[in-house]
Chains A and B, each alone.
Chain A
Amino acid sequence: MKRRYWITTLILAAMFYAVGVGSVAAKPEGTLTVAVATFGNERWLPHLYVGAEDVVLKPLWENLLSRDAKGNLIPMLAEKWQVSDGGKTWKFHLRKGVRFHNGIELTAEDVKFTFASIAREGSANSMAPEFRQIKSMEVENPHTITLRFDKPFVTLGNRVTQGLFASVAYIQSKKYIEAGEQAAERQPVGTGPWKFVEHVRGDRIVYEAVENHWRAVPHFKRLVFLKVPEPATRMAMLRAGSVDVVEISGEYVDELKKVGIRTLVMPNVSAIWVILGGQWPTKPSYDPKVPWAQPDAEKARKVRLALNLAVDKKAIIERVLGGVGTPVGTVNYYPADPWISDALLKPVAYDPARAKTLLAEAGYPNGFDVTMNLTAWPGRGFLPDVGEAVATYWEKIGLRVKRRPVDRAIFAADFRARSYAGVALAYAGPIIAPEPWELFQRISHTKSAVHLLVEHPKLDGFIERLGAEPNLAERTRIMREEMGPWLYEYMPGVAIGATHSIAGVGPKVGDWPLIPGHMGVHNWEFVTRK
């Protein structure tokens, strides 16, 4: 089998050489077939898709901005943009001459229409709450649009960018959708490097390369997504050559290596930590008996520190996640971030003996009972495994851990009702926003709808200051020198580390440039043929 590949490759290489290298990149050829776990809800209008399925949507559309290899915002459909009024006003200048696949030119009206659709009542789009903050949108001319907010929205750029997980403010055609939503659903059009060909629900989505695309002409002629929910089947299909790319989570990396399959690593895309539920002293469901959230701040911190010391993060990253990750000392800080420092990066040492001593000092010489929720999030199937591993470590310092496998739907209600005081669970926050406080604003501000870390006046203060600070350099400083050290010291959860996401790729696939921090396979148009 292997030898045959070699021979084929050699012959192909010789042929290409003979034909001349110049002609290789010119025309898209061949088919790239991809097996993914989910298609999301398989809708195409801006207010109907959720966003987590961005892997299959991204080829068709484009955003106003994108991110470069260093993670900086760069132009995409917008050539340039200005922020004024301390972040309350955003003005975007659109590129001229960009056309949708049906030939209509993209204008500022399309941008306005798309954003309004996302924010519309009953919208399924996960960005709806954020786009509902827009106070007004003014179209100055066909290529300029101004967005205004009541409160500063200093990181709006991150919401309208291509290079992040679930960044789905794709610009769609107003004229086309208004001419008929039914037709727009059956045959969606976008401005992306791939145009829509076919969609068989629950089974496949087929795209075709746009030759002469303004930004990037794909190397492959066809891009086919197959929905294959079972990971073992995805891997088998890749090995059998039925597909060229599979979406897979970190625990399978060794499995792929063993059978000689190349893995594509998208580094540091998701921060894993163990949530210690109950740290919400102002909420009705607060339970002062929860050891790590008790009113005695010093004892509570000792417990949290002990829970951290008991866990060997490095072993978890290496053993449970197949080494596709980096241990980090601070929740939701990533190794390559500009706001990280060596001190924040360093994981809390693995020291079970000290953990035991601390527990005794806090008044729990015989440990205590704790429930570990084992809940799998879509695309993060390794979380129950991480929870299991942490539970085993905690048992070694004398805790009695009850495992509770819970369906995500059931837990979603617990999340909002904050009815999980005293419960621990492994969680992984994907980079939906590059700056850590943006996530904290959603999940650990006193006023946020859920609490996945901690509720604390000090943290509220950081979030509010950062949210009103339009200057990135100053925000970086606050995150590095104030918020990070505070989090490290307070230790609200058990920070495990930053994990990479991976994909298995077959022999047809050549180079694959990636955008850092982007969870899920992307940049289909840049994948070269081998």
Chain B
Amino acid sequence: MWRYLAGRALQMLLSMLVVISIVFVLTRLSGNPVLLLLDVNATERDQEILTRHLGLDRPLPVQYVVYVKNIFVGDFGNSVLTRRPVTEHIWERLPATVELGFVAMAMSVLIGVPLGMYSAVRRGSVLDTCARVFAVLGQSMPAFWLGLMLILFFGVVLGVLPAGGRGDFRHLILPAFTLGYFTSAAILRLTRSAMLEVLGSDYIKFARLKGLHEQVVLWKHGLKNGLLPVVTFAVLLFVQFLGGAVVTETVFAWPGLGRLILESITTRDYPIVQAGVLVLSALYLTGNLLVDVLYGYLNPRIRHARA
């Protein structure tokens, strides 16, 4: 187990290095932040001064080596635009990002699991179809559009929810739903098929034979056994939401990490883009590792296969 983990960690480190290199090269190709920072009346000399000040005058390979070296001591450099340490910027945005990601995941599960269960139990019925169409509908419009419609309906027409920004929990509802609704279709599918399999098993047949109440059979025995794929999926989902919410964050004026990176791209704030992307891929890879470990641990059949 430990050898396996160490191996995976090493692989992750190598992956990160590749990610850093890709992003480093891409951002450098994308334009010069100095030209954006300077006013049109700035002279060549002003340009040189600023370039040197930001350390962008050194040859690219040198910049790269220095950058990678510094990362190992936890220094991601300073933002070109704000001149503040990049780590500060990222830490500031993480709470909002994690908050939104978590609630969105919860919402996705809360929509997907019950619908999936009932659509499995009532397979082929109108309810099954309705549930599935409802979920698929969430995957049929762009998030910015769904988000705007929600803002207009709940914020402007009904006036019951805030139209944007971050504040109390009510501010979370619309953006989290926008993110979570899209993925609830996948959760529904997963739950539905897992339940179908579990419900067909001898185990459930036995529980029914024992004369247990149908709801108990469903929720306690059925769900418990069908939950594993849903849980792993939800973890992966959460990791995805952390970096994948750029549009939702923009529409709902949510001060998250995705928006920080997006805005930094438009100003060519290389250090923030590099570090941001790095953090997001690290989170993703860690999430995956976690799922693998958990999975091997929790799934009796896999444990069996190993034994």
Contact = CB atoms under 8 A, between A and B. Distances in A.
Contacts of A442: 39-41
Contacts of B166: 203
A242 B152 CA distance: 12
Contacts of B36: 408-409, 412
Interface in A215-229: 226-229
Contacts of B253: 35, 226-230, 233, 237
Nearest to A438: B41
Contacts of B162: 240, 242
B10 to A, nearest CB: 35
B263 to A, nearest CB: 8
Contacts, number: 141
Interface in B178-231: none
Interface stretch (B44-52, B110-118, B126-134): B44-52
B266 A230 contact: no
Nearest to B89: A201
B82 interface: yes
A450 B42 CA distance: 9
Given A202-B92, A202-B255, A122 B30 contact: no
A465 interface: no
B302 interface: no
B43 to A, nearest CB: 6
A412 B268 CA distance: 11
Contacts of A448: 41
A128 interface: yes
A129 B48 CA distance: 12
Contact of B40 (A35, A127, A443): A443
A416 B35 contact: yes
Contact of A240 (B33, B52, B156, B252): B156
B31 interface: yes
Interface stretch (A40-48, A97-105, A496-504, A511-519): A40-48
A178 interface: no
B250 A409 contact: no
Given A124-B83, A230-B251, A410 B31 contact: yes
B165 A226 contact: yes
A241 interface: yes
Interface residues of A, number: 49
A493 to B, nearest CB: 15
A236 interface: yes
A121 B45 CA distance: 11
B255 A236 contact: no
Interface in A19-66: 35, 41-43, 48, 50-51
Given A230-B251, A230-B253, A126 B39 contact: yes
Contacts of A128: 39, 42, 46
Interface in A443-458: 443, 448-450, 452
Nearest to A128: B46
Interface residues of B, number: 52
Contacts of B68: none
B37 interface: yes
B148 interface: yes
A413 B32 CA distance: 7
Interface in A398-419: 407-410, 412-413, 415-416
Given A122-B50, A409-B30, A240 B155 contact: yes
Interface string A112-143: 00000000011010111110100000000000
Contact of B33 (A129, A242, A409): A409
B288 interface: no
Contacts of A43: 82-84
B218 to A, nearest CB: 41
A200 B255 contact: yes
Nearest to A242: B163
B151 interface: yes
B42 A129 contact: yes
Given A50-B37, A409-B32, A129 B148 contact: no
A508 interface: no
A80 interface: no
Contacts of B96: 203
Contacts of A443: 40-41
Interface in B140-178: 144, 148, 151-152, 155-156, 159, 162-166
B155 A236 contact: yes
A240 B35 contact: no
Given A232-B148, A240-B159, A240-B163, A449 B44 contact: yes
Nearest to B53: A122
A209 B60 CA distance: 49
B277 interface: no
B45 to A, nearest CB: 9
B43 A129 contact: yes
A233 B163 contact: yes
Contact of A202 (B42, B93, B163): B93
Interface string B238-270: 000000000000111101000110010011100
A228 B166 CA distance: 11
Given A202-B255, A239-B163, A413-B32, 14 more contacts: A42-B82, A48-B82, A48-B83, A121-B53, A122-B53, A200-B255, A203-B166, A204-B165, A230-B253, A237-B253, A240-B159, A407-B31, A416-B35, A442-B39
Interface of A: 35, 41-43, 48, 50-51, 121-122, 124, 126-130, 132, 200-204, 226-230, 232-233, 236-237, 239-242, 407-410, 412-413, 415-416, 441-443, 448-450, 452
Interface of B: 30-33, 35-44, 46-47, 49-50, 52-54, 81-84, 89, 92-93, 96, 144, 148, 151-152, 155-156, 159, 162-166, 250-253, 255, 259-260, 263, 266-268
28 contacts: A35-B253, A43-B82, A48-B83, A50-B37, A126-B38, A128-B42, A200-B255, A201-B89, A201-B92, A202-B260, A203-B255, A204-B165, A226-B253, A227-B253, A228-B165, A229-B259, A230-B251, A236-B148, A237-B155, A237-B165, A240-B156, A242-B164, A409-B32, A412-B31, A412-B36, A415-B35, A449-B42, A450-B40
